Structure 1
């Protein structure tokens, strides 16, 4: 079986690149798979992809982030490759930070149907549950209504895929009810390769609060930095570090530079910039708590699963989607009121004051990360693809 994946892939900095890497890696040892093609975005130097080559895969840069003709370029690549099936790793901003190219790229599942290539989409977010104003997509009521309408039309194109998997149970019901389709399934996020566990040095003396991702829209780090200052005053026996591991969201270029300027007097904050895949493990292992400075969510959280893989406790905002994922998948953490630095500091303090509870959450998260390895998730994909191809023959 020859498979094509349409996905960002490291060292591309496009969102979902790490998920794409780990998902594809889980397929490389499957006996049913003859060849894997990774249809990903162009870099300034495409030769950089060679750092992440895996046995049995061919990386095919064929589209451009913010390009207007991406679905046509992917079509051309698919016609040349002639795969048995396509797996698309998508969220609504996969193909661009600008609205038109982002939207046009999402015609790809429909295009696969026209080519009669069986396709599976894993859709990480849906417009029905995203607060568009907080992610930089709309800043007025009429724009929100317009973009929701456009989102509905794009969702219909995405639903042309043979199977559409979503990672939150609520999404299944929303899509089935609203769009009257029966090709929606609950597709677990899956857990990245489980590393050897590295325990924190006990008793704690240095506390590293780490936020990971692309910042500036619904992920804003000021609340974490303000919470760190509060914690320094309340717990002088600890050394606190705030680590911002990531880069700007494409919609708010320059955001982190503004934060650096605002907090230039703060000595215990580290801005790492983009974290290459090979450095991700150390960033998580050096952390005490994984901070989620979110004001909304855009689907299941890969960072939550990574926190579990590295056995770290999470400090989480009270957001319905995120709480639901945490509960459904067996993770744990301490909660704070969204965008409230004092509440975040109190959540951290709760676990500092109760090390046994912190350790219990670390154990719980590590156990949850064992729940569904991507290696088993790959078997699910292969089974469904076999069923789809059998119907075509």
Structure 2
């Protein structure tokens, strides 16, 4: 099988690039895949596609640009020139741009690929029906929300024109089957990027590092985390370091710089900036816990899966997709009320003072992560691809 993947890919900073890296790393190790073709954005032109592990050839074809109006055409030309057996789109709604028109136009690409008689699968990481448009930084205006929701519904119907739509959470499948009468949706879990050897759960000498990881400024904000840790310091006298790992959300450029200025009086805060792929294991391994200072969620959490793979306890709000992952995939965390500094402080303090409890959560999360490695996830994709390539009845999708 010649498999093509339309995606961002490191060193691109476009969303889902890291997920693509791990998909590629594991797809190429399956014997069914004879060649992988990566249709990436132009910023991945210098991507490293050599891997230590043996596997099939990987061909890099940068063919689209973030916020370009012509991605629909350029991707179609790349597909026609390479003639893959299967195309997998690694998508969320703002994949092709943060401007409305190019973002929307890019989402027509899977449908066009299908019309070109190439089998097409879309991996959709979020759905509009579960996104809080206000907290996610889109708009607070109710009229604009109605417009966004209408456009989101239309684009969902367009995406459903693909041969197969993969979702990472069962609730998403149920929503699309109920609302759009979709018949081509399947569930494949997010999976865990890397499964290192089980850690010792012992931390190095020095301050306990309380880490958060992501793109901040919309529904991920760090002010309450900083204030909560300050409370825990006062309550316990413990030596605690706050590690804010990541960058601004593209919709809130300048957010972290403003936080630095507003909290310059608070000691022992580290802002790492962008964390390169090779530095991810270090930043997780050194942390005592990972905190999710979210007010809403927009999809299956890659950070939760990473925390599990490195054997880390987590502190998170009991809401949305995080709550579903705990129930469906066996993760465990100390929960807090999303808008309450006091609740967040209490949750962090519980893990700070009780090492045994913290390690119990960490071990549970490691076991949950180890149950769904990317090698198994990519095999699930290949099974789905083979079903389509061998014999597949006509699928009825929403009009």
Q: What is the TM-score when the length of structure 1 is the normalising length?
A: 0.95
Gap change, CA 1:341 and 1:204, over 3 Å in 2: farther
Q: Structure 1 residue 202: deviation in Å?
A: 5.8
1:276-300 superposed Cα distances (whole Å, 9 cap, x missing partner): 1111100100111111011100011
Q: Structure 1 residue 301: deviation in Å?
A: 0.4
Supply the RMSD in Å over aligned alpha carbons.
Answer: 1.7
* In structure 1, distance between residues paired with 2:203 and 2:154: 53
Counterpart mapping for 1:293-332 below 5 A? 293-332=293-332
- Check if 1:63 corresponds to 2:64: yes
Q: Structure 1 residue 225: deviation in Å?
A: 1.0
User: SS at the partner of 2:208?
Assistant: strand
Aligned twin of 2:113? 112
**Is 2:334–2:347's contact at 8 Å kept on the other side of the alignment?**
yes
* In structure 2, distance between residues paired with 1:287 and 1:5: 33
Aligned twin of 1:338? 338
**Is 1:11–1:277's contact at 8 Å kept on the other side of the alignment?**
no
Q: Structure 1 residue 376: deviation in Å?
A: 1.4
Gap change, CA 1:295 and 1:254, over 3 Å in 2: same
1:24-81 superposed Cα distances (whole Å, 9 cap, x missing partner): 11111111111101111111x732x13x434521222111112222122111111111
**Is 1:293–1:339's contact at 8 Å kept on the other side of the alignment?**
no
Aligned twin of 2:234? 233
* In structure 2, distance between residues paired with 1:123 and 1:261: 37
1:336-367 superposed Cα distances (whole Å, 9 cap, x missing partner): 11032221110011122332221111110000
Aligned twin of 1:73? 74
Aligned twin of 2:14? 14
Counterpart mapping for 1:161-240 below 5 A? 161-201=162-202, 206-236=207-237, 238-240=238-240
* In structure 2, distance between residues paired with 1:271 and 1:353: 25
Aligned twin of 2:396? none
User: SS at the partner of 1:37?
Assistant: strand
Gap change, CA 1:269 and 1:347, over 3 Å in 2: same
1:9-38 superposed Cα distances (whole Å, 9 cap, x missing partner): 111111211111111111111111111011
Q: Would you say how many aligned residue pairs link Structure 1 and Structure 2?
A: 389
Counterpart mapping for 1:1-393 below 5 A? 1-43=1-43, 46-47=45-46, 49-50=47-48, 52-54=49-51, 56-201=57-202, 206-236=207-237, 238-391=238-391
**Is 1:307–1:313's contact at 8 Å kept on the other side of the alignment?**
yes
**Is 2:203–2:288's contact at 8 Å kept on the other side of the alignment?**
no
User: SS at the partner of 1:332?
Assistant: coil
Gap change, CA 1:171 and 1:392, over 3 Å in 2: closer
Q: What is the TM-score when the length of structure 2 is the normalising length?
A: 0.94
Q: Structure 1 residue 392: deviation in Å?
A: 7.7
Q: Structure 1 residue 98: deviation in Å?
A: 2.0
> Structure 2: any 5+ residue segments left out of the alignment?
394-399
Gap change, CA 1:251 and 1:203, over 3 Å in 2: closer
Q: Structure 1 residue 204: deviation in Å?
A: 7.5
**Is 2:204–2:286's contact at 8 Å kept on the other side of the alignment?**
no
